Amino acid sequence: MSFWLQAALFLLLGHRTMALLFPLPQTVTSGNTVIAIGNSLDVIFKVQGSIPEDLAAAAERAVGYVTESEHYYLSPERGKEFLLDNDLPVLTALEIILQGSDYGTIASEVSKEAGERREAYKLDIPADGGNARLTATSSLGAFRGLATFEQLFYGVPPTDDGKAADLLSPGSQEVFGQRIRYKAFSPAAPYHIEDRPAFPWRGFMLDTSRHYFSKETILRTLDAMALVKLNVFHWHMTDSQSWPLSLPGFRDLAEKGAYSARETYNEEDVGEITKYAAERGIDVVVEMDMPGHTASSHHARPELVVGYAREPWTRYAAQPPAGQLRYMEDDVTQLMVDLLGKLKAHIPSAYFATGGDEINENVYKDDDRSQATLKRKGWTLKQALNAFMGSTWQALQPKIPVVWQEMVQEHRVDSLPDNAVVLIWKSSKDVSKIAKLGHPIVHVGFDHMYLDLGGGGNIIPPLGKKEPSWHAHPFNTWYHIYSFDPYKGVKANQRHLVLGGQTVLWSETTDETNVDSKIWPRAAAIAEIYWSGGGDNGFPLDPSKALARFQDLRYRLVAKGVSATPLQPHWCAIRPGSCEFI
């Protein structure tokens, strides 16, 4: 194709040839040259010491993803319009340059406290082929750059007659009657990207108690998280419905409390999942919610729980079955201390979540034994809670506790370390009250961040009865999540307390059958808030400006095997700008 034809094409298509990155890097400059990848792409490490093993593996995966991708450019021609020229500049290698000598591994960086992780990187892709250069001071930073690198490329689409690339000679593809020799292309080289996160805690929470999720599903979720630079997998492991955690010495808890022998996580599973996550830049923060949300421990150890499945459940719990830890008893405290001491050895994270939401005091008020013990010890319920929780946090040292907001707001548990992270869930508006208490805070307000809402309740109202407002809460759309302002209600001198945010999936009405579509692409919406930040215009961000990039991400996730929900008719998806709000 002549230069002039190419130039005319780019003028015509110009609005489309932006880098469709999600989350948006801090700075991106791009050009208008199509650059291709041929049959292979080498990875060249430039490091002062040894090549970090997990980064080398991640680079191999990134190259595999780019060269084998079935994610096609979102246009009616699915990218063929960029491939008219059979003589495109070809990228031959990706140089990964780790500056200094303390770059470590990805996993070693992830195991640090949130604020200490080095995630910055620079990426240059020249317009004339040759080597791309990814530069960072840490393996984790380079890993973040690999996610950006991946997102710059598109697979060569199948031919019009539906023949997939692999039916033709390797690395060759018939396009507009020509055979071309590319595996992938990027539409807008040269790229110069400088990037770092705006916030250190960008999370997603999965509840594996109300329904069980397989290891495969969790690993697939971690891969999707890594693609959008989410870095905290908050694993709400146990709850009142089932106890899937199986550890030596405590296997009976899962044997009797899990849904089945197969629906469990043992120490090997936890090890595999935390390692897989760490190698993908993700910190797994395990939660053993207590003293509420523990009824399922009753099946193996009835002595732990008061009020198991007691009715009417509305008096004793937020949802069935009722039942909470007898936290005023010494043996219960000791058992939980032993269990946490055991569990923490299996978890590389600097954090551990002890939960603490929705404690129902009626359970204890209506229980003679609880009352007798409190009287004997001369404790109020709050004093007993303070002592119990203090013991658990002691047992977990040096891990930093992560707690739901009730622990500091309602129960004022003063045994909580000052550096404990507080999750604000009851309302985003509560941030103004919580911030005063001085703890690092993470936004998980149900009004924006709960991915489970909007499908109706799981407690079915009989005919003529009105659904509780909680159950009738609207679906949190991706654009509603995206337009959350993490600084709303936060004073200027408290902004440093905002560690980040998380979407949350409580699994009342989610299991393996629909988990991907509940999470994705919505969980990615916060990646931009907490990675990219507010930029010059500040928060909230405008979702209509992110749509084209979010669409690209959605199809990219599907090509990775993640069943992310479509956002618009396919007609709209392949015609950015054609289905706009008027």
Residues 231-290 that bind a second copy (CB under 8 A): 240-242, 259-262
Helix 330-344, helix 381-396: angle, nearest 10: 30
| Nearer of residues 24 and 278 to a second copy, judged by Cβ | 24
- Which residues inside 290-309 make contact with a second copy, applying CB under 8 A? 296, 309
- Site residues (CB under 8 A) for a second copy, limited to 26-55: none
d(CA 467, CA 471): 6
Binding a second copy by CB under 8 A: which of 3, 4, 87, 161? 161
Distance separating alpha carbons of residues 12 and 348, to the nearest angstrom: 52
Q: Which of 211, 293, 326, 448 binds a second copy (CB under 8 A)?
A: 211
Q: Could you say which of 67, 148, 507, 532 contacts a second copy (CB under 8 A)?
A: 507
Q: Omega before 321 cis (within 30°)?
A: yes
Lay out the site mask for a second copy across 375-414 (x = CB under 8 A, - = otherwise): ----------------------------------------
The three-state secondary structure class of 217 is helix
> Which residues from 440-479 bind a second copy, rule CB under 8 A?
454-463, 465, 472, 474-475, 477-479
Q: Compute the distance between CA of residue 488 and CA of residue 422 in angstroms, rounded to an integer.
A: 17
**Shortest Å distance, C-beta 515 to a second copy:** 10
SS3 sequence of 425-463: CCCHHHHHHHHCCCCCEEECCHHHHECCCCCCCCCCCCC
Burial class (CB in 10 A: 0-12, 13-18, 19+), 3: exposed
- Which residue among 32, 509, 534, 559 contacts a second copy (CB under 8 A)? 509
The 3-state DSSP class for residue 524 equals: helix
Which residue's CB is nearer to a second copy, number 463 or number 492? Answer: 463
Nearer to a second copy (CB atom), residue 100 or residue 468: 468
Report residue 222: phi and psi, to 5°.
Answer: -65, -40
Closer to a second copy by CB, 271 or 543: give it.
543
Site string for a second copy, 90-129 (x = CB under 8 A): ----------------------------------------
d(CA 115, CA 111): 11
- Enumerate residues 309-348 that contact a second copy by CB under 8 A: 309, 312-314, 319-321
- Which span (17-25, 341-349, 401-409, 504-512) binds a second copy, by CB under 8 A? 504-512
Among positions 541-570, residues that touch a second copy (CB under 8 A) are 541-545, 547, 558, 563-570
**How would you class 258 by CB atoms within 10 Å of its CB: exposed for 0-12, middle for 13-18, buried for 19 or more?**
buried
**CB nearer a second copy, residue 135 or residue 241:** 241
SS3 at position 304:
helix
CB nearer a second copy, residue 4 or residue 581: 581
> Any residues with CB less than 8 A from the CB of 530 and at least 6 apart, and which?
197, 198, 199, 201, 202, 486, 500, 501
Interface with a second copy, residue 578, by CB under 8 A: yes
Tell the smallest beta-carbon distance from residue 20 to a second copy (Å): 16
Write down the least CB distance from residue 49 to a second copy, Å: 43
Give min distance, CB of 304 to a second copy, in A.
17
Tell me whether residue 83 or residue 106 sits nearer to a second copy (CB atom).
83
Considering the complex, state which of residue 296 and residue 360 has its C-beta at the smaller distance from a second copy. 296
d(CA 456, CA 478): 18
Q: Which residue among 116, 160, 268, 338 contacts a second copy (CB under 8 A)? A: 160
Told to judge if 580 belongs to the known catalytic residues of this protein, a careful annotator would answer: no
Closest CA to 66 of 149, 158, 175: 149
- At CA 155, angle to CA 152 and CA 156, rounded to 5? 130
Closer by beta carbon to a second copy, 55 or else 519: 519
> Taking the CB of residue 87, how many other CB atoms lie within 10 A of it?
9
268 by Cβ neighbours in 10 Å (0-12 / 13-18 / 19+) ranks as exposed
Is the omega angle on the peptide bond into residue 170 within 30 degrees of 0, that is, cis?
A: no
Running DSSP on this structure, what letter comes out for residue 18? S
Which among 155, 189, 150 is positioned nearest to 59, based on CA atoms?
150
Q: Which CB atom, from 136 or from 547, has the smaller least distance to a second copy?
A: 547
> Binding of a second copy at residue 580 (CB under 8 A)?
yes
SS3 193: strand
C-alpha span between 486 and 482 (Å, rounded): 11
Task: Pick from 374, 517, 534, 559 the residue near a second copy by CB under 8 A.
Answer: 517
Q: Which of 510, 525, 530, 556 contacts a second copy by CB under 8 A?
A: 510
CB of 445 to a second copy, least distance (A): 18
User: Do 106 and 143 touch, CB atoms closer than 8 A?
Assistant: yes
- Residue of 150, 174, 287, 358 marked active site: 358
Q: What is the smallest separation between the CB atom of 509 and a second copy, expressed in angstroms?
A: 5
Stretch that binds a second copy, among 112-120, 138-146, 170-178, 210-218 (CB under 8 A): 210-218
Q: Shortest distance, CB of residue 319 to a second copy, whole angstroms? A: 7
Indicate which residues carry an active-site annotation: 358
